[in-house]
Amino acid sequence: MGTSDKKKPDNNKIIIFDTTLRDGEQSPGVALNMQDKLQIGRQLEKLGVDVLEAGFPIASPGDFEGVKTLAKELQGLQVAALARATKKDIDTAWEAIKEGADPRIHTFLATSDIHLKYKLRKTREEVLEMAGEAVKYASRYTSNIEFSAEDASRTDLDFLCQVFERVIDCGATTVNFPDTVGYAIPWDFGRMIKYVMDNTPNIHKAVLSVHCHNDLGLATANVLAAINAGARQVECTINGIGERAGNTAMEEVVMAIRTRHDLLPFETDINTRHIAATSRMVSMLTGMVVQPNKAVVGANAFAHESGIHQDGVLKERTTYEIMDPRDIGLSSGSLVLGKHSGRHALKAKLEEMGYELSEEELGRVFDRFKELADKKKEIFPEDLEAIVAEEILRIPEKYKLTYLHVAGGSGIRPTATVGIEVDGKEEVAVSIGAGPIDAAFNAVSKIVQTKSSLLRFTVNSITGGTDAQGEVTVRLQEGDKVVTGQGADPDIITASVRAYLTALNRLAYK
């Protein structure tokens, strides 16, 4: 039998439960392979999360193997697996996580009357019994058990207190209050959390957790209200990704606690200097672009356009910045590296940014860095992150760009010549299109013979200036498979082709 060595935390410690790889991966269009999950998992371990929810093992053989691999590989944190309140789900969850350092079974059951009537078709008495039996059954394997009352924010609070009391008596060490559909309003959510704390007799034997969705844009506000009312675990994701409008964004909660410690006298174990790199990695691997005005990690979060603001920041940063960008891992200097910089300087900078690469990986990144340095005068951390994402975090390449030439302009029919190495052999195609990117994509399609359709095409600038790298994200669908790909280059057409090939490689990998 597994046991949890972790005691109930000090009253001011907030446990960070990251569900990027479970709830976050349920975002429409996101499909991570095992290499992606391991990269994100290792980064979350470095970031300092307490619990990593690795997936839903019963969902598919792929999910099971993914959870099992993460539990085995990540020994510096608790790995949790989700399970419905059934014996088969719980058995499968335990089988997946049993090799973890401190594995957690996370079982759930809906408790709101609307779910009981239309989804479960059960009475409150039946649900109360099912919840208790599920936790009791899970306790055969481990004492690290979490129970979630799905749709808790629309559940009768007296009944919810009964459910929590029962599952704690049966062995649950964490009870989770989810705002499953993003229905809560902060002051009312705080009231509900306080009611549960005051009216669940044995609540002192467990940690009260909250899991908020962002349907009304209130997830972070609801979580902070819950912490103030007694919750001590926060379930969240990097960049707030997740179903529908997403989940509570980890970086927002952590930095709110750090920035307003006067009103939120709590602590987390998050190393905030890894926030920016983690955000970037999750964005690159999921293909979910972070909106520029996103709190904490958006491209404009520390940008100042107003002359008054610029003048103030130059005189004293705190006039218009409540957070130091260095606290989340962003550099305060403008010029990071240039074309005369060597491998040692590059390695030191990458280590400062949180990347520990092998000599072979460093060599690939260095080659791309030198190539970029010949095109750009200034190399920023964001540029390096884009290179690392493409060179290190990518999947095996079936298709590799070897040559690209595009002709276009006013009065000229856009034409593209593309060379692609396919399984080690170069193939070349020429095509026309409505524009240069369309022509390039048509040439790629000729070579690859893809039947996929382009669902989305977006372009962002990684840094400022006319020589900035452009970052392109594409989303492709072929049959029931949906994948994303990203590419970066100062030449936006090259970036587009890189993104397209990354997505096609993902389809091939699948």
| Nearest-10 crossing angle of helices 61-73, 34-47 | 40
Give residue limits of the domains in the chain: 29-286, 331-391, 399-509
Low-confidence ranges of the chain (pLDDT < 70): 1-10, 29, 304-314, 317, 320, 331-336, 338-339, 354, 377-378, 393-396, 463-464, 510
What is the pLDDT at residue 3?
45
Burial class (CB within 10 angstroms; exposed 0-12, middle 13-18, buried 19+) of 83: buried
What is the pLDDT at residue 326?
87
What is the pLDDT at residue 304?
57
For the domain bounded by 399-509, which CATH number is listed? Answer: 3.30.160.270
pLDDT tens per residue across span 188-214:
999 999 999 999 999 999 999 999 999
What is the pLDDT at residue 155?
98
What is the pLDDT at residue 395?
66
pLDDT tens per residue across span 338-384:
667 788 888 888 887 767 788 988 998 899 888 888 877 667 777 78
Q: Which CATH number fits domain 29-286: 3.20.20.70, 2.60.120.260, 1.10.10.10, 3.10.20.340?
A: 3.20.20.70
Rg, the chain, Cα only? 25
* Residue whose tokens read 């964004």: 249
Cα dist. 400→404, 447, 475 in Å?
11, 11, 18
CB-CB contact of 437 with 407 (8 Å) = no
Q: Tell me the two tokens of residue 398.
A: 């079936």
Alpha-helix runs per DSSP H in 98-213: 113-115, 124-138, 157-170, 186-199
How far apart are the C-alpha atoms of 313 and 219, rounded to whole Å?
Answer: 30
pTM beyond cutoff 0.85: no
- Dump strand ranges (E) for 185-296: 207-212, 233-236
